[in-house]
A and B are shown apart, each in its own frame.
Chain A
Amino acid sequence: MYVAVKGGERAIDNAHRLLADTRRGDRAVPELTLDQISEQLALGVDRVMSEGSLYDRELAALAIKQARGDLIEAIFLVRAFRATLPRFGASEPVDTGAMAIQRRISSTFKDIPGGQILGPTFDYTHRLLDPQLAGSCDPAEPASAEASDAPTPRVTDILRQDGLIEDSPVAADDAPVGDLTREPLNFPADRDLRLQNLARADEGFLLALGYSTQRGYGRNHPFAGEIRFGEVDVYFEAEDAGFAVPLGSIALTECQMVNQFKGSATEAPRFTRGYGLAFGQSERKAMSMALVDRALRASELGEDVKAPAQDEEFVMSHSDNVQATGFVEHLKLPHYVDFQSELGLLRKLRADFEQAAPQMQEAAE
């Protein structure tokens, strides 16, 4: 009779075996390789690297394979691994102005120094399912030209020369680099920690929040000043060497939003900024992040804080999909004990109600 809580150990082992088998699927179908995932599901890999906060294509591809394509589960796997890695220090700030650009667009100027470069984008494709892709296909070689060595200054830097946009805050050289994975978060949080939180945040959550600002919930009149994607070098100031040594390059997507801002009696009107940055080619993420970053600056810029996207505690406390999925899904765990207490309470309340009912009836009459 009393079997309800026995046998858990075998059940778990068998569930894991079944999961491994289900993950593999039909053995007649060739198994995915990590290279295939990394090369052909590259944007999924980029997302897992971004929200997993770990720049490693191979591990991200492994996580996607292990997670059966569930990207949040893959992000979780990467995060759990990352948490065990030692921390040597922080790199020098990367110079996105010196990016080896693969794509660069501005919606604020028709032409910009260095030119607009469409690069690999879905933007102007017709979303028609392509039956050719169902089989194997061998697309034409891409068009190519000599790489340009013309400088590609950031659009916001051009605006800044005329004083039309606020300065980007520059941290002091010896200012500590905030890291919410190493220090507990306190509110109100500084913008560096907010940006770190947003960079790790769930793409869908930021997309919805960014969208809500466009629909009037904390509207801030954004323009996509510039979106650029390409490779940047990472330098690390090694104390022993006494100078910054190059560690390698990483692919980044950067979005600089240009937003409206009314001036005040003491300040001339000028544009304000929202900033987004993500690993790999992650434009939706970088743009959403920039919208939410700008929205979260509401109180700093003297705006009313009324909309969810402007509410720092609300946004930062709920943006992390690993935390969110954990707490939502933990409802699957047993709650017998609490439920038992609630049953007891409910029965007592119902008994009290039954007892009181005739008197209440009388009182009403």
Chain B
Amino acid sequence: MIEASYNFAYLDEQTKRMIRRAILKAIAIPGYQVPFASREMPMPYGWGTGGVQVTASILGPDDTLKVIDQGSDDTTNAISIRKFFAKTAGVATTTSTPAASVIQTRHRIPETTLHEGQVLVYQVPIPEPLRFLEPRETETRRMHALAEYGLMHVKLYEDIAKFGHIATSYAYPVKVAGRYVMDPSPTPKFDNPKMNDCAALQLFGAGREKRIYAIPPYTQVVSLDFEDHPFTRYRQNAPCALCGAEDSYLDEIVTDDRGGRMFVCSDTDYCEGRRAQGHTGTESAPMEAADA
């Protein structure tokens, strides 16, 4: 039997080179989906194999890695991926957003503003923003090539005609550097403005669909809208029950079976940081006692 021994950060160097080439091309053409020969990873498709391959290819021994899922460092899949790299690459890991050099994420962008030199790696299920309007790859590639995005605008217009506003709450399409319409991955549209003019490099990996795309630092990212129906962020109308934040995206926690609800920061690092600074919310007292 062959003893399993794996390279630094799991992938072999040949594969990493191939992925790095795709990443470089993606950075050179912001928002363009670069096909790459995605590998089977030891976690299932849909669990973040694209993000994991991108992270594996850019990680160096001196990096500090943070992994979040739903904004939290403590969700099971984030733990599993963080452990995977701690084991296969032996890199330092952190839950602190400013302390991380590479942050892999599923479904959120951290609340803390990212800084230069950081890389945010998104896990992407369906990289094609036009996919649900046109199922065929041959068609959507042609539409991107011709920058023919009328179909998307018609969809958004139909939303307005039907509902009075654009009824897309997450994976809200953006236009990158004035050229490619891009899927931001299923982040809530609350996070879209953070992508614009961001100091960090943003990389997107879709493993099953075999696509990598990128937003270089300080690139213009515009959420699609109309002059008379501008893009609006959505946020629950409540402060965080633990840290009182009025500016963070919130998770709704069902507290009982009688309609009891509580809203708390989805970004656990942000919330903990605020509590450490002494911010409180309506439910924070017992929490602080538990933390101490």
Contact = CB atoms under 8 A, between A and B. Distances in A.
A322 B40 contact: yes
Interface in B65-109: 69-72, 74-80, 106-108
B258 to A, nearest CB: 15
B108 A337 contact: yes
A179 to B, nearest CB: 8
B46 to A, nearest CB: 3
A326 B266 contact: no
B14 A86 contact: yes
A144 interface: no
Interface string A78-120: 0111111011000000000000000000000000000000000
A249 to B, nearest CB: 20
Nearest to B11: A84
Given A337-B108, A345-B167, A12 B70 contact: no
Contacts of A181: 37, 39
Sort chain A's interface into a size bin. 35 or more
Interface in A1-57: 1-2, 4-9, 11-12
A188 interface: yes
B42 interface: yes
B112 interface: no
A237 interface: no
Contacts of A313: 136-138
A5 B74 contact: yes
A6 B79 CA distance: 11
A187 interface: yes
Interface stretch (A126-134, A218-226, A328-336): A328-336
Interface string B231-269: 000101000001000000111110100000010101010
Contact of B35 (A2, A184, A338): A184
A236 B189 CA distance: 54
Contacts of B125: 327, 330
Contact of B77 (A334, A338, A345): A334
A340 interface: yes
Contacts of A295: none
Contacts of A331: 46
Contacts of B45: 322-323, 325-327, 330
B185 to A, nearest CB: 10
B187 interface: yes
A184 B37 contact: yes
Given A11-B76, A181-B39, A341 B169 contact: yes
A341 B136 contact: no
Interface string B280-292: 0001001100000
A183 interface: yes
Interface in A293-333: 313, 317, 322-323, 325-331, 333
Contacts of B251: 4, 336-337, 340
Interface string B133-176: 00011100000000000000000000000011001011100000
Contacts of A323: 45, 208
A344 B42 contact: no
B13 to A, nearest CB: 10
B12 interface: yes
B249 A337 contact: yes
Contact of A2 (B77, B79, B188, B287): B287
Nearest to A6: B74
Given A340-B236, A341-B188, A2 B46 contact: no
A183 B22 CA distance: 11
11 contacts: A8-B79, A62-B1, A84-B10, A186-B35, A313-B137, A322-B44, A330-B47, A333-B77, A337-B266, A340-B250, A341-B170
Interface of A: 1-2, 4-9, 11-12, 58-59, 62, 76, 79-84, 86-87, 180-188, 313, 317, 322-323, 325-331, 333-338, 340-345, 349, 352
Interface of B: 1-2, 4, 6-7, 10-12, 14-15, 35-42, 44-47, 49, 69-72, 74-80, 106-108, 125, 136-138, 163-164, 167, 169-171, 186-190, 208, 210, 234, 236, 242, 249-253, 255, 262, 264, 266, 268, 283, 286-287
Given A5-B75, A327-B125, A330-B44, 16 more contacts: A1-B255, A59-B2, A83-B39, A86-B12, A181-B37, A182-B37, A187-B138, A323-B45, A330-B47, A330-B125, A331-B46, A335-B70, A338-B170, A338-B171, A340-B249, A349-B163
